[in-house]
Each structure stands twice: as C-alpha cells, then as structure tokens.
Structure 1
C-alpha cells in the first residue's frame, strides 16, 4: 500500500528534500473547460432494478430502505451483481481503486456494462492512481465510459517518488483528498459505507484485511446520493482523465492493453458467496435472480462535504460564499441529541482538544460513550495511533469505554480466525450510533483529516432494527477478540485487558515492541495533529 497523505509531512521534514521538490513543480493544472453539467439518469420502472425498487421509490412517509452488509463476500457480490444487472447508469465515486485482482475485476465489469450500453461514470480521487493510467485510459476508450479525477496530480504521475515531489511542491492543494465511497446503479440502488475497491476490503489480500461495513440503500435517499455524486462530478476540483493524461496510443491499442491488464487470468472472480449472511439473508445475486427484494424500511438521508472543501475551509468562505457545514460538524450536532449513549467505531480516532471538550459536555449529561479503534500494532496508520494515545488517558478519566482491535486477539477467536486466516485483521468500518436508534455510516473517520482536510460522505439512518443489526454484526454488546483499555488502579498508566475469556492484563502496548514505539514517537514530533 502506498504511503498515505498523513505520512508525507514527516517525510518532508525528515528527508530534507524541500528544495528538490520545489524544483519539480513544472506543470500546473489544465484549464477547467466549461461544459454542460452531466446529471444522473433517474430510476425507471422500465429497468429491472427500477421495477424491484418501485415499492420503496415514493413512500408516503418518506422512508427509504436499507440492508446492512458487514461481510466482505456479500459486499463484493452486491457490487458485482449490481454492475451486471445495470441497464441505464453506473455512478462510482471512490478514494481508492486497487491495482490488484479486485480493482481490475471491477474495471472489467464496468467495461462489460459500458459495452451493453450502460452509461458509466467513474470518479476517483487521484492520490492512489499510481500505475493506473494505462488501465484508466483503456477503459475510457470504450463508448459510454468516462473517468474523472478529483484534485489530480499533473507532473510525474507514473512514479510514487515523483508524485511525492509534486505533493510537497503543491502541498496546500494536494493535501486535500476526496475520501468518499459511493456506488449508485440505475438511480435505483446505492451502496455507501467504508469499503474502497481493493483486495483488502473484501478479504482477498494475503497480508492484511479489513473489518468493514456497507449499507445497501433504496428509496428517496438514493436520489440524494445521486445529487451528491452529480455535485462532485461537475465540480471545479474534478477534471476529465484526458485533460490530465493525454493518450499516445490509438483507442484500439488502449482497449487491447486494458483487456490484457484486466483479464480473468490476473483478475479472477471471487470464490462463491455463502448461501446466507449473518442475518440469514441470501446474497444480492440470488435476490436479484429471484426478482424479490426485501429491505428494512427506515428514515435515511445522505450528507456530504462540499467538493470545494478541497480548496480549504477558509477558501470556501472567501468571496462571500457561505461555507456549508461539514459532515464532521453535522455528526457533532447529532451527538448533541444523544440522551443515553453513543458508540463510535473508527479505525483512526483523534478527538483533539475540541472533541475532548465535547466528550466532557456529553459525559456531564450522563451520556455513555464507547469507542472502538485499532491498536498500535495493527493500525495501517500508526502515526494516527500515536496521536490518539495523547488523548487516551483523558478519555478514560472521563469514563469513556475504549476498545482496540488486535490481530493477536482475532487469531484467538475460532470464528474470526477462519475469516482472516493468516492475514492481519484491522478495523476499517466507520460508524457512529446514538441511543441505539440513529446511525451514521460512511467514509468519515473521527480525526482532524476527515474533519478539516478530506471530503467525506455518509448516510444517517433512524431505525432500531437497523441499529440492532449493526450491534450484532459489530459485536457491540458482546465484545470479543479485542482489548479493553483501562487505567491501572490509582495511576494514569494504561492497561489492556483481553476479552477472549482469559482476561489477561498487559501493561505495555500489545504486540508493539519498544523500537517501534520509539520510532513512531519520533515521527509524531514532525506531524501536526491537525494533518492527521
């Protein structure tokens, strides 16, 4: 996995290459060509998916419909099935599309849909597109297919090292990324949640895989999500692929290369999906084959940051423009409505000083707060974990319940060991639950980067039934295979208590040796918390 934007400031300071980076800034963004806005194709009962979702399309009470998808195999099956059943449109917006078997499989399926006459719009953040240009150009060479890039790199696109230099040279702009994950088909069904389109999000990686969560959605909320997609697609910070990367081969040659790069030999289909998920429901492929779609009715609305957040929050207020509230600000407003309890699940958790003040106010009202995040040894962003540690004692003193996900603990669980095999297990799901009735699920991490720098999208759902499915799926009431973090009695020292039955108590960071902790501590001195 390439280094994330969180690590770049440390490299910038530690490696001392600022001057060399500035010399690399030889190319600017292309002019933003004016063109008519392209908008979503509305759902229609003339399509298969439109007919299936007619019962949810215009309900008198305004409620939408939801299916909770915690299992990776069912989440991938849903995406592949929806692409294969699409008849009018596919709109995909993602932070990361892997140069691996899952990413290539998705691209191949999109090509097939475009060849059937489906209009396909693929919007990618440009941070993780190193080495993807040949495939994206080849995909764009097919009719009915368009690729656009959010806040793109211009010079040195082919290599990570030259992108680093471009990143440093234009840090203020390129540090802002589109972290959204959104998938909409025929204007009728949508998937929103934490998963990107890469092996590790669907348990297909040998090294490390993620615990994650998606929602399949139908009804009025899909219209809202399509509106969000259109706002991004037509934004001033989004550029057509061909405005950034000029093809030097003929369309036929580009298509031939694409077919070779994404062939079933290098991008095989996944293993068969189990007959039922943890809730006893069949995979979406079987549901669509049956022609009967049963979802949970719930109030839901889509919320997202403005794409111009990539220009900086201060820039949004310039020129008399009113800055819309960010998704993080909306989330805090939802927290203020809590009467009894808040549960937060986030791979990266840094409350910051403002967040700590919010926690104190909530605890003063008697609101119980529980947080689940990654342990230091198992996070894919250790610099974030180091900064989270700065607030850990303060949170525990306020009575916040803390849990940390650990691969060691996962391997001790018979059921989870079967799921993850020999790979590392890490948390990637992003959700907040208020009073076991309201749920916010989407791309938002609970850290300063998501709050102030990256753009995010989420769905707010009001439903006791959906909430309790999430509780069951994430084992919120039956915490297992994690560490519970607590203060050693009478001290400000942290302890970790295993939840696998033996209640073993550790006085040091689980599975993280002293050298690792010292190295990360040194790096943390160079990376301001507000960049994480």
Structure 2
C-alpha cells in the first residue's frame, strides 16, 4: 500500500510546513457545488459470457458461489478477464490505482470495454490520484466512461506539496478515506478482497510484493455488492472528476497521449494468464470461461460496507453509529466463536476495546491466533510500534501471535517460489471463526479502519471455503513466520522460528536495528494511535 503514514508524519513532524499551511489555507476548503446524475447498477446482461458462465456453474438458487484467489497472477487474470469479457457494465471501486504496468493495463482495458459499448463507472479515492490524473482525464473523455472521486482534494492537486498544504488546512475532512475494493462485471461476477490495482498486489514488483486475498463471487450476493457500489457512487461524498479538476487539454490530445502510455508494450507489458493450476488445483478464470464452467463453493453470505458519510465530507455532518460499520459486523461475528478465531491483518492495532473483545473470547476458552507483519516486513513499520504496545498483554491472555518475516519467508519454498527475489509482505485482510465463517474484505484490525476509513467486507458461512483458504495459506503449518512468545524469565518477548532444521530463538526484534527502532519510537510520539 502507498505509505499513508508518510502523509501523517509530514503533517506532525514538519512544524514549519504545518504553520505555513495553516497560514495559507486557514480553514476547511470548499467542495465544488457540482451536479451529478444518479445512476444504478445494470441487471445481469443477457447473452454475456460472464452471465452464461455463472448460470452453467451450478450455484443453487438463493445462494452465492465463491472461489478464493490467494495468488496474485490468478487475481490479476480474473480482473483482466472480467474487463475483456464484459458486454454491458463494469463498476470498479478502489482506494489505489497505480501509474504502473497493472494500473495502465486496467485503464487500457476500461477504454477498450467502453469502445465495445460497455458502461464504465470508475470510483477512486482521491488520496493517490496525482500520478494518474492525466490518464483519468483522458479516460473520462471516451464515450460510456465516467470517473468519480471520493472526498477529493480541492487545492494544489497537481503537486505533492500542494496536496499536503490542503491536507493540513482541511485535516478533519481529508483524513477520512475510502479504502473499499470492489469490482463488478455485467451484474454477474464480482471480486472483493484486499488488493489494490498496482504491480505489488499481483507479485509483479521487483522490490516488494504483497501476499493478499480476494474472492470471486457469483450468484445472490453480486447484486448486493452492486447496491453498495451505487450507494457510494450516488453519495454526496463523491464528485465527478471534471468538477474537481478541469481537463488539461482537448479530448483528442488527451486520448492520443493516453494511448501512447497504455498501448506502449514497454510501459504496459503484456500480461499472460497463468499456465499452471492455482493453489486449489483449478485453472485461472480466463481458462474456466473457455471451458464453460467455474468451480464455485456455494454458501450463504452477506456483504457489508460502511456508509459513505463515515468520511464526514460535509462540515458538521454526524458520523454514522458504530453499529452501522464493517468493524461492528466483524466484532459481532468474532463474538459468536465457540472454539477458534484466526485473524490475518497486515496492520494490527486492536486498541483497548479490541483487546477486551479478544479477552472475552479467551475467557470462553476460544483459541485466538493473529497473523500480522513483523516490523522489518511491514511497509508501514510505524504501525508495528502501535501493535507492540499490546503484544505482551495479548500474549499474557493466551492469544497466539505470528509475524511474517522476510528471512523466514525466504526459507519457505512455496513463498520463495512465488516471491522470487522480492520481499514478501502480508496484505490479506481476513478472519475465520470456528473454521466455518470466513470474513474477507478491505478492513484492517486497527482504529483507522474502525473510525476513519470506509471499508467493505463479505461474511461467508462455509467450512469448505474456510478449508480451501487455510490450506492454501498452510495455516496449520506456518513456515514463513516467527511465533512471538513471552520470554520464560519474564520481561519482554522472544521470536521462535521453526523449520526442518530445528528451532531458532531470537530475543531482539528480527532484522531491525536499534537505530531503526529508536527512529520509529520517536516518530510514534507525534502520531496518535487512531491515525496509524
């Protein structure tokens, strides 16, 4: 994920910049008074190959079908297949669309779909749009395409420093972001999970890649996900791109420049579908579409999303009740556990209330396991400082903690094959209750997800799906992690790494120097826990 904490640190640490910003901006910046037409998701498209695939795949009436996508290449193939095969509608809602190979490939396919007559609605959070703004301006000039932005910056959009000044002067509004990720094609298939649209979420970065999780959805739940998209698309927190930023050129010029970027085989390399079966032994979506049948696990499920007004984009607007949040649904599901809770969260800062919920579970005899990133592995190491404040307390309650480590993942043959020479980082956001209820979506277990950002998630009642995902992650035989334990003699924690060669015990934070820890500790003094 792009580093949100760098924004926060610039704000709190750079006092001179903050003072200048307040002097220049002074107060909340006005949002444009822009008319926007309301629109709704289109019904399943008759004759669409995606609709035909779902109909032929045997999902029982009244249920939904799910297929897990833990591997990046298969997750990218699924999205590109939906983009290329849609005949009527594409609705995409994302936190981050990158100016890289994956991002440009997605924008190219959106243009191509629009040229086929497909209605394209692209909804992005505005935090990281600066690097793709010219492409978005060009994309919206094509027939059948509309681009909208959530909670936009209104000043200094074209420079990092300008956006920072706007951020500081309008902090209360701009601190709230849309973290949702949803992809809906022809009203027939949807993808929901943790991945943004950038190279590192699909194992295509040379430096560092995310280990993530999506689910492909068909059947009853798809219209519900589409209605959640509509709620955002038509909300007062969302603005047409043209109302926020005027086009920087005539449409033909913008379109030619766009084509030079997205059609250039160097800038946007060709992406071939995977040749081998996935971790569950099935082919990628592009191939199952040709075969005419997609493996689905049928199940009952719900889809939930925070209200767009959680962002509070209008001055004086009351925040929604906590009972209306994804976090509340998540906690409510965890509290129904009878035997086991397993949580995967790359950024894990449970807060006082989160600790109490887990204590309640432990008091009922429920086994609790949490898998997160080690400080050295995380792309947001300052978040790990917040997590450390709860580590000993959680271990004292009997919560089992595991941290993904760069060196441990290199010793895991499967992870090493997937990651190559790049560093691996956990980004999957999912939880399992009694190995029956599966929760997958965009929500991290932290205060930012609970109170500031908007999120989306699905809850699926399926022991079969839970087993498929946990087996794919080898959750009963973690190899690429350290288990964190209290030191036997007391006074701190230690890290245990286990493999065929035996057991390794470390008494200091793995792969992090004393100087790095001290710098992060200093930074943490300037950042409140709810901003991590």
Could you say which TM-score interval applies, normalised by the shorter chain? over 0.9
Q: Distance in 2 between matches of 1:368 and 1:312?
A: 40
Residue 517 of structure 1: aligned partner: 517
Are 1:374 and 2:373 an aligned pair? yes
Residue 280 of structure 1: aligned partner: 281
Q: Distance in 2 between matches of 1:206 and 1:157?
A: 29
The 3-state SS of whatever aligns with 2:179 is: coil
For each residue in 1:278-322, what CA deviation from the matched residue of structure 2 results, as whole angstroms up to 9, or x when unmatched? 11100100111122223110111111100110008996647xx86
Residue 53 of structure 2: aligned partner: 52
Are 1:235 and 2:270 an aligned pair? no
Mean alpha-carbon deviation: is it higher for 500-509 or for 338-347?
500-509
Residue 342 of structure 1: aligned partner: 341
Mean alpha-carbon deviation: is it higher for 283-292 or for 445-454?
283-292
For each residue in 1:246-273, what CA deviation from the matched residue of structure 2 results, as whole angstroms up to 9, or x when unmatched? 0131111110011112123201122441
Q: Distance in 1 between matches of 2:57 and 2:167?
A: 45
Residue 432 of structure 1: aligned partner: 431
Does the 8 Å CA contact 2:300/2:461 hold for their aligned counterparts?
yes
Q: 1:411, CA displacement in angstroms?
A: 1.0
Q: Distance in 2 between matches of 1:213 and 1:259?
A: 31
Residue 307 of structure 1: aligned partner: 308
Residue 140 of structure 2: aligned partner: 140
Q: Distance in 1 between matches of 2:171 and 2:499?
A: 44
For each residue in 1:118-164, what CA deviation from the matched residue of structure 2 results, as whole angstroms up to 9, or x when unmatched? 00010000001122111001111111111100001121112212211
Does the 8 Å CA contact 1:482/1:498 hold for their aligned counterparts?
yes
Does the 8 Å CA contact 1:24/1:166 hold for their aligned counterparts?
no
Note closer, same or farther for the CA distance 1:312–1:163 as it changes in structure 2 (3 Å cut).
Answer: closer
Note closer, same or farther for the CA distance 1:315–1:467 as it changes in structure 2 (3 Å cut).
Answer: farther
Q: Distance in 2 between matches of 1:160 and 1:442?
A: 29
Matches within 5 A, 1:114-133: 114-133=114-133
Q: Distance in 2 between matches of 1:270 and 1:492?
A: 51
For each residue in 1:197-242, what CA deviation from the matched residue of structure 2 results, as whole angstroms up to 9, or x when unmatched? 0000001101100000100000111010000000000010000000
Are 1:39 and 2:49 an aligned pair? no
Does the 8 Å CA contact 2:3/2:379 hold for their aligned counterparts?
no
For each residue in 1:69-103, what CA deviation from the matched residue of structure 2 results, as whole angstroms up to 9, or x when unmatched? 00111000010011100000000000001111110
Note closer, same or farther for the CA distance 1:159–1:306 as it changes in structure 2 (3 Å cut).
Answer: same
The 3-state SS of whatever aligns with 1:440 is: strand
Residue 418 of structure 1: aligned partner: 417
Does the 8 Å CA contact 1:45/1:54 hold for their aligned counterparts?
no
Matches within 5 A, 1:36-435: 36-54=37-55, 59-60=60-61, 62-263=62-263, 264-311=265-312, 317=318, 325-435=324-434
Q: Distance in 2 between matches of 1:169 and 1:293?
A: 50
Are 1:490 and 2:493 an aligned pair? no
Note closer, same or farther for the CA distance 1:416–1:249 as it changes in structure 2 (3 Å cut).
Answer: same
Mean alpha-carbon deviation: is it higher for 307-316 or for 147-156?
307-316
Q: Distance in 1 between matches of 2:360 and 2:485?
A: 21
Question: TM-score of the superposition, structure 2-length normalised?
Answer: 0.96
Note closer, same or farther for the CA distance 1:315–1:51 as it changes in structure 2 (3 Å cut).
Answer: farther
Task: Give the aligned CA root-mean-square deviation in angstroms.
Answer: 1.9
Does the 8 Å CA contact 1:7/1:383 hold for their aligned counterparts?
no
Question: TM-score of the superposition, structure 1-length normalised?
Answer: 0.96
Task: Kindly tell me the number of residue pairs found equivalent between the two proteins.
Answer: 528
Does the 8 Å CA contact 2:3/2:380 hold for their aligned counterparts?
no
Residue 478 of structure 1: aligned partner: 477
Q: Distance in 2 between matches of 1:333 and 1:483?
A: 29
The 3-state SS of whatever aligns with 2:131 is: coil
Q: Where does structure 1 lack aligned partners over 5 or more consecutive residues?
A: none
The 3-state SS of whatever aligns with 2:130 is: coil
Note closer, same or farther for the CA distance 1:158–1:482 as it changes in structure 2 (3 Å cut).
Answer: same
Mean alpha-carbon deviation: is it higher for 161-170 or for 15-24?
15-24
Note closer, same or farther for the CA distance 1:316–1:223 as it changes in structure 2 (3 Å cut).
Answer: farther
Q: Distance in 2 between matches of 1:55 and 1:339?
A: 37
Note closer, same or farther for the CA distance 1:105–1:63 as it changes in structure 2 (3 Å cut).
Answer: same
Q: 1:31, CA displacement in angstroms?
A: 3.2
Mean alpha-carbon deviation: is it higher for 373-382 or for 274-283?
274-283
Note closer, same or farther for the CA distance 1:405–1:10 as it changes in structure 2 (3 Å cut).
Answer: same
